[in-house]
Each structure stands twice: as structure tokens, then as C-alpha cells.
Chain A
Amino acid sequence: MDWVNAAVQGILLGGLYALFAVGLSLVFGTMRLVNLAHGDLTVLPAYVALMLVNAFRFNPFYSIPITMVIMFVFGYLLQRGLLNTIVRSGDIPGVIVTFGISIVIQNALLLGFTANSQGLDAGSIENGSIKISDRLAIGWLPLIIFIMAVIVIAALQIYTQRTKMGRAFRAVSDDQDAARLMGINNKHVWAVAMGVALLIAAIGGVMMAIRTTFDPLLGSQRLIYAFEAVIIGGMGSSWGTLMGGVILGLAQTLGAQAFGSAWSILCGHVVFIIILAFRPQGLLAKTVTA
């Protein structure tokens, strides 16, 4: 039964990783930019929510929509003001600039909030769970996060398939120049894509902040989990990303169950490495090249 419990927790954890991964994947998909600051950009909204909760003293769940809007605007401006200048200059400037942004965000958070762990108190729901048997209980919060991940991915699918802006995402992804000739303002489209990516990052970031504690240095670990989920699932596939997150979550919780919690994260990495070695295009790949 402990194994079943570990497996259930792993699947639910995977939903969270998928929430972190979707934004990374969206940004790469629309502008071929690998955003090394993405992990820190999931930590930043947690601090935005913390400030909102401290200012207005409301339940942290109410801070989610406000934080989403703030992060959307932040992403739009970040892309418009800074990142658009390097979208067309290849991989290397993108990596260096986003790594720089990562360092700046991390240290700015350390400066403003110290390295101490913080938490958001959402009341009784944090510990509430659905008791299935004596040894198996599904926490409300992890379940809500998982359902949220499914909703976000479905919504993003509909958005990119059915709306005008979604079509523009796919157009600039396929051919930047042709898209421009068709009257698409690439710079605006990329900025919206970054905004949407950070809006999703805000959902994951604040949910995680309610679930556990957080500190300014979590970003790099989250970037790595998000990246692993994307690669395991296969690039360009949203449901693949969810599957990648679930596999990573399962590897971590089952690994902890088998070898002890010290090995949990390493087990996740090992599963990632095995999949990279034997199926580098990922499990549900749509595109082959990275």
C-alpha cells in the first residue's frame, strides 16, 4: 500500500512539474528561446503573492488571478524590452542573457526577502485530504494542482488551435519571415507568448508556494525539472509534457520509497538520462530536432 501511496503522490507531483514545464516549452516552441530563467520566473510569482497577501491579508488563493495578470504584464514587457533583441541571433545569446536574468532575479529576491523559507497560509485546505483507506490519502491541494495542470494544458491547446493569436504562435514558430509577410507582428506575438508562459508559471509558482515553503534559490531546481519533463514527454507535445512531468514525479516518489528520500531527486535524473539515451526525441514527440 505504501507503494500505491507513493505512486499516487508521484502522479500528482507530476502535474506540478507539468505546470512548470508548459511555459518553458511554449517559449521554446514560438521563438526557439531556451529560457534559463524560467525556474526563477516560477519563484518570482510566489513572492508577488506573498507581498499581496501581506498587504491585503486575504486567502492566498485570491492572489492567484492578480499574480497571473502581473506576471503576464511582466513577461510581455521583458520580451518586448529585452528578449526580442536576441530572438533572431541564435541559441548562444539567448542562453547567456536568460542565465543573466536568472542570476539577477535570484539575487534580487535574496536581497529583498533573505534566504529564509517563506510560506503562504491557505488555512485548513493545505492539510485536508480524501481518505481512501488507512494508508492511502489524497491531499486536496496536490489534487487541485494536478487538475489545474490538466485544465491549463487543455486550455492552451484550445488557445493555440482555435484563436487568432494561437494561430500566430504557430505561424511564427514555423516561419518567422513568412509570418511577418502575412501581416503578423512577430515582436508582439513573442511578447504575448512570453506573457502567457509566465501567467502559467504564476499558477504553478503560487500553488506550490501554498503547498510547501519556498526560498529564492529554488529556481534552478525547477528549471531542471521543467526541462526534464519537456524532454521526457517529447518537444512540441503538450500532453507529452504532462506525461513527462508524471514520469518524473513517479521516478522521484517511487525512488524515495525504494532507496530513501536522499536518493529521490537522483532517481528522477536517472530516469531522465535513460530516456534521453534511448529515446532522445521523447515519448510523444511531434518534432525531432531540439
Chain B
Amino acid sequence: MILGFGVLVAIVLIIFPLFGGIPWTRRLVDFFTLLALAQLWNLMLGYAGLISVGQQGFIGIGSYTLWLFSDILGIHPFVAVIFAAIGGAIIALPAASLVFKLRGGYLAIGTWVLAEVMRLIVANIKRTGGGSGTTVQAASQLATETRVPGTYWWALGLAIVAIGVTYFLLRSRTGLGLEAMRDNDLAAESSGVNLWRTKLLTYVVAGAGCAAAGAVVAIHLLRIQPAAAFSINWTAYLIFITVIGGVGTIEGPVIGTLIYFILRETTSQYGEWYFIVLGLLAIVVTIWSPRGIYGYVVRKTNFFLFPVQRKIRFKGAGESPPTQVESGAEPVA
């Protein structure tokens, strides 16, 4: 039943641009890019225990790599998104070797410094238009009827890939290692989990994904500017979405993105108040309901749309009662 419903939703979402109209399709581009970004941020924080406040660095790099490949090198913008993802992964490797020297909260600020470094470099290159930015010509020249649906499918594809990667990664051995590492890195390491490689994998996957999302944003907005592409506001949105929805679940960011969108569509004209509400909600949820909305749902119903936790199953009747042991952060319901 759930599967059938899921297939139906997927089909509707895939053909949406054919009947949904340009304004709604554009809104959904925003939605799916943010969902993909939040999912990747959640993969880093909720499963690998890596807290980054610098993903805007990769988003910005993605936007500018798209511009480089499409406007300067003449590659079709929809193909250039792939190069942006590769660019993000390539930059994530040395970046990881630096920030992984730091831990916890200092690692977070370290990722922020790297994002600032990337922003300053891009803003100082004259060819990119410097601080005032530039227009992505190759994308502007596409007809709206091609550009908007194409961007939509990229955004939808990224969201699906981000969810899929998280899902399959977590069900693999690496995923088990990740969760062990998040819960207790010393114990995980002594049980044979290669901490460095597991963290690196997560960071590079997230870097590539964020860069691809940044490339989609560039095609979507047609204009790139260092202050916007590398803005710390990206991190504010990702923190808000993931924390409100529920850290460490795949469903959490989906719910969080929905709530964020409702808030944005209704209150973003209030400017500063809107950000104050986002900030306060993130604080309140972290302190009083650290598992977010989805954590609350799970506690009440034990329903998982994407089951990634492991359970012990007891065979045969009359033996032990079917106690559940979950490896996730959620205590036994």
C-alpha cells in the first residue's frame, strides 16, 4: 500500500512541470534543492557526527563551477552540473584533511573559515565579476520552457539521490560504522571502524552534493554573486530544517523542509523577524525536543518510512519475547 502510494507520488512529482505551471515548478525547485542540501547536512551531522557550518562554501563553489563550465568553456548548463559536483568533491578532499584536525564545535568554525576563504578567492578574481557577481549567460539563453523543467528535474533528481545515498549508505556496513562513530567514536574505532575514511567519505559526498545543488541554484536564479552564493544563511536554513524535522532520520529533513517552506511563504516579508523566529525555534527544539518533530512521531507510533535501524528478530514461538533493539539514537519505544 505504502509502496503503491510512493510510486504514485513519484510519478506525479516527475511529470509535475508538464501540468504544474512555471511559478509552482520554480517553487518546487527551491524546495528540492533545499531538501537535497538538508539531507546531506543531516548525513554529516546525524550519522557521522560532523557538524559543518560551512556547506555554503561548496554551494558557492558549485554555482561558480557551473558558470565556469557553461559560460567560459561552453558546456551545456545541464551537463555542467555534473562538473560542479566533481569540483565540489575535489575541493572537499584537501578541505577535509584540514578541518578534521579540529573537533566538535571548533571543526564547525573551521568549515566556516574555509567557506570564507573560497568566497574571498572568488570575489577577488576579476573574471567572475568580483563582489558584484555576474549573470550565467548560457542559462539565460535557454528558453524558459526548457530551463525551468530541466532545472526542476535536476533538483528533484538531486533530492532523490541524496535520500537514496543516505538510505543505502546507512544500510551498508559503512553506515553501521557511521552510527557507531556518532554514538562513541573511541568504541567504534576499537571495533575496527576506520574513522578517518568513513568521515572523509561522508564529507566528500556532502561536498559533491552541495556543489551540485549550488549549480542548480545558479541555473535557477541566473545570477551569481559571492555574498549570496557563499552566504551563511544557507547554513541557517539547513540547521533549522534538520533540527526542526529531526536530526538523524531521513524523514526529518523532509518534514523540516515542508515546515520551512510554509514559514517562508507566509512570513519571509517580515525580514528580520522571520530569521529571529527561525533562530528561536532551532534553540527551543534543540533544548527541549532534541529529536525534532519526526523523533516525536517515532516515539508515538514507531513508524519509519525509511527503516535504516537494525533490529534483533527472534525466531520461533515461545522463546524470548520480541524485544526490539535499535541501533539508532532513538531509545526502545
Contact = CB atoms under 8 A, between A and B. Distances in A.
A11 to B, nearest CB: 22
Nearest to A279: B101
Nearest to B46: A92
A46 B159 CA distance: 43
B45 interface: yes
Contact of A269 (B106, B108, B120, B247): B120
A276 B280 contact: no
Contacts, number: 134
A272 interface: yes
Contacts of B101: 276-277, 280, 290
Given A103-B275, A107-B275, A262 B108 contact: no
A95 B276 contact: no
A269 B113 contact: yes
A96 B117 contact: no
Contacts of A90: 104
A259 to B, nearest CB: 9
Interface string A213-250: 00000001001100110010000000000000000000
Contacts of A36: 53, 105, 108-109
A112 B261 CA distance: 26
B143 interface: no
Given A33-B105, A227-B109, A93 B276 contact: no
A85 interface: yes
A290 B108 CA distance: 12
A207 B301 CA distance: 56
Contacts of B290: 89, 93
A99 B45 CA distance: 15
Interface stretch (B28-36, B148-156, B249-257, B281-289): B281-289
Given A36-B109, A227-B113, A99 B98 contact: no
A263 interface: yes
Contacts of B222: none
Nearest to B124: A262
A135 to B, nearest CB: 28
Contacts of A28: 105-106
Contact of B117 (A103, A104, A266): A266
B118 to A, nearest CB: 10
Contact of A111 (B112, B273, B280): B273
Interface residues of B, number: 42
Nearest to B49: A92
A106 B273 CA distance: 11
A280 to B, nearest CB: 4
A34 B108 contact: yes
B286 A96 contact: yes
A12 to B, nearest CB: 23
Nearest to B50: A92
A127 B51 CA distance: 43
A13 to B, nearest CB: 18
Nearest to A262: B124
A224 B113 contact: yes
B105 A272 contact: no
Contacts of A96: 51, 239, 243, 282-283, 286
A100 interface: yes
A141 interface: no
A231 B102 CA distance: 9
Contacts of B49: 92
Given A34-B104, A107-B275, A290-B103, A82 B283 contact: yes
A12 B300 CA distance: 59
A192 B271 CA distance: 35
Contacts of A91: 51, 103-105
A101 interface: yes
A155 interface: no
B74 interface: no
Nearest to B247: A92
A104 B280 contact: yes
A86 to B, nearest CB: 6
Given A107-B275, A266-B120, A273-B117, A97 B283 contact: yes
Interface string B92-115: 000001100111111111101100
A133 interface: no
A103 B113 contact: no
Interface in A15-48: 28, 32-34, 36
A94 interface: yes
Interface in A112-163: none
B330 interface: no
B319 interface: no
A269 B287 contact: no
Interface of B: 45, 49, 51, 53, 97-98, 101-110, 112-113, 116-117, 120-121, 124, 232, 235-236, 239, 243, 247, 271-273, 275-276, 278-280, 282-283, 286-287, 290
Interface of A: 28, 32-34, 36, 82, 85-86, 89-97, 99-104, 106-108, 110-111, 220, 223-224, 227-228, 231, 262-263, 265-266, 269-270, 272-273, 276-277, 280, 289-290
8 A-B pairs closest in CB distance: A34-B105, A91-B104, A103-B279, A100-B283, A280-B101, A107-B272, A104-B279, A100-B282
10 contacts: A32-B104, A33-B105, A36-B109, A93-B287, A96-B283, A100-B279, A100-B282, A102-B279, A227-B110, A277-B97
